[in-house]
Structure 1
Amino acid sequence: MKRYLSAMGGLIIVLLLFPTLLTAQMENQPYVTVTTMHFDFSDEGNNYGTWKAAEQEYREKVINKNDLIRGTAVYTHLYTEDSREVVFVQVYDSWEDIEKAQERNGELAQESWPDEAERNAFFDKLNSHYSEWHSDQIYRMMPGAKYLAQPAEKDMVLYVRINYMAYPEDGSQEEFMEGYNWFIENMVNKNEIAKAYYPHIHAWGTDRREMVDAWLYDSMADVEKAGDRMEELWNEGLPEEAQRKAMGEKMGKYFLGHHKDMLYTYIHDLSKATMTQGTN
């Protein structure tokens, strides 16, 4: 079973589908691959502990040694539509590095398990913790991401909001980015409760309208506090009701108005947090 996404020579698809509204703003922004898999502990002896041990070994011997992978994160279900979900996120400098990284993973695997029988046995055991079905998406990180100040020392909570973009005829890149930059400055950079914020937009996958907000918090208690803090920052940044109404109308036309919400556990010791605050 192929664990991670291949670029599949699909750059032309990205160029055709990537929203022109934001194309000029995305130069030098990293690519983000998201692979969603599903636990299957039906094999005798398989459980969360054996899964984590196998993944830890794979990361120590392969993923963490792969310099083409700028960062990785592993998330498990907390409040999603499927309790079996486990999500693997990887960050790359370029589209080409996605493909190169898979080749490098193969090289590192052969170096770590030079005996083919041992190598196959390890990956058979690792993959036995998952069902065969999985999904892949590629996103592009947007400007204004807020990275962890330092690598996490404990598991955390990730709140994911999937928004669906509209492309109004009277919209413009300048108008959208003006509102977006205000949001980053006032709602993200001043938000001490959110330890990290990862905004990313569709580049390849099932729905070109997706724009994803991912917020990382210390705890569920902080997730609950976050709504009140966001309202406070909104009112502080736009103290007049007329200002808030105008901003809501201006930015609201760029979104369809419906969204999805999900909560995941961030597994800190299976993650490679090379992208911390101060990196881009």
Structure 2
Amino acid sequence: MKTTKKLLIVMALFALLFTNATVAQDAETPQYYTVTTMHWNMENQDTTWVKTEKEYLEKVTKKNQYIMGAGFYLHRWSDDNTELKYVQVFSSWENIDKASTRNGELEKEAWPDEKVRTAFLKRQNDFYSVNHSDEIYAVLPGSKPLSSDLTEDKILYLQRQHFAFPKEGSNKEFNELNKEFVENVIHKNEYIKGYYPHMHAWGADRTEFMHAYFLDSMSDLEKMAERNGELVRAHWKTPESRKAFFEKYNKYTTGVHGDQVYTAIAELRK
């Protein structure tokens, strides 16, 4: 029990550190992502999914001032071909609740007739299975924002790592190491069009450390990895300097990670 409490306290300190680092910025910068993992209703043969979700996007989501951004990500390479993810971006924790209330108001404005509104929402919900899960993530420093909104579908490569909490480590050291790596490798990699790091804020796994990479194509996954290697060797020029850096850096994660690839749907983004 003492070990568990100690671990939770350390996690809380990590969360506080990163949250404070982002909240200190302009209030209208992204602070949280909500991620809903849904599953297709495989018995539904309706082919109007994009049309239906686009109508909701235009009439509700884009008009909701509490939602900074939103988008759908479809399975491309993961352990479940029925899954898709819906991600929303918020500038504060309070806006997550406010957005839900505002959605309800906008739905009534968009479809004033209750029967019409009920029918539309039922058709929308029928695309999905009743099974879903929800997570909330805190935005971390070091993002490489997309230069512009998507005009065509892109590849989202999602890597899930897990924080370790070494006794000999410190928040200061991790921040410095992470900043050095991100600025000298990820930000300089031309194949990475966007990069968004985030960590657990609410959900099933408190150790999650997520990296979301936007790429132009599947072939760029391999090119990205090769380019990362080149940039690592360019910044840490000797085997000894690379070994010293990564021995320090890698102690903050467990070494266990998972990889998933999704298609970011440009037509359904706010």
Q: Indicate whether the TM-score tops 0.5.
A: yes
SS in 1 for 2:254: strand
Q: Which residue of 1 aligns with 2:79?
A: 81
Whole-angstrom distance in 2 between the partners of 1:82 and 1:25 = 31
C-alpha displacement of 1:239: 0.6
C-alpha displacement of 1:191: 1.1
Deviations 1:135-156 (A, max 9, x none): 0000001011111101111000
Q: Name segments (4+ residues, structure 1) moved above 6 Å.
A: none
Determine which of 202, 206, 209 is the counterpart of 2:204. Answer: 206
Determine which of 153, 158, 161 is the counterpart of 2:159. Answer: 161
Whole-angstrom distance in 2 between the partners of 1:187 and 1:81 = 29
Q: Which residue of 1 aligns with 2:26?
A: none
SS in 1 for 2:13: coil
Deviations 1:39-98 (A, max 9, x none): 11413x413xx1111111110100011111111121000001111111001110110000
Given that residues 35 and 87 in structure 1 are in contact (C-alpha distance below 8 angstroms), is that contact kept between their aligned partners in structure 2? yes
Determine which of 232, 245, 265 is the counterpart of 2:243. Answer: 245
Q: Which residue of 1 aligns with 2:18?
A: 25
Q: Which residue of 1 aligns with 2:106?
A: 108
The amino acid of 2:220's aligned partner reads D
Q: Decide whether aligned partners of structure 1 residues 265 and 38 sit closer, same or farther in structure 2, where only a CA change above 3 A counts.
A: same
Whole-angstrom distance in 2 between the partners of 1:34 and 1:92 = 11
Q: Which residue of 1 aligns with 2:27?
A: none
C-alpha displacement of 1:184: 1.6
SS in 1 for 2:57: helix
| Correspondence list, 1:1-280, <5 A | 18-27=11-20, 28=23, 30-43=31-44, 45-47=45-47, 50-272=48-270
Q: Decide whether aligned partners of structure 1 residues 187 and 19 sit closer, same or farther in structure 2, where only a CA change above 3 A counts.
A: farther
Q: Decide whether aligned partners of structure 1 residues 18 and 54 sit closer, same or farther in structure 2, where only a CA change above 3 A counts.
A: farther
Given that residues 73 and 90 in structure 1 are in contact (C-alpha distance below 8 angstroms), is that contact kept between their aligned partners in structure 2? yes
Given that residues 26 and 143 in structure 1 are in contact (C-alpha distance below 8 angstroms), is that contact kept between their aligned partners in structure 2? no
SS in 2 for 1:26: helix
Given that residues 11 and 207 in structure 2 are in contact (C-alpha distance below 8 angstroms), is that contact kept between their aligned partners in structure 1? no
SS in 1 for 2:71: strand
Deviations 1:104-130 (A, max 9, x none): 111100100011110000000011110
C-alpha displacement of 1:17: 8.3
SS in 2 for 1:256: coil
Compute the TM-score of the two structures, normalised by the length of structure 1.
Answer: 0.88
Q: What is the RMSD of the two structures over their aligned residues, measured on CA atoms? A: 1.4
Q: Decide whether aligned partners of structure 1 residues 40 and 106 sit closer, same or farther in structure 2, where only a CA change above 3 A counts.
A: same
Whole-angstrom distance in 1 between the partners of 2:239 and 2:15 = 29
The amino acid of 2:105's aligned partner reads E
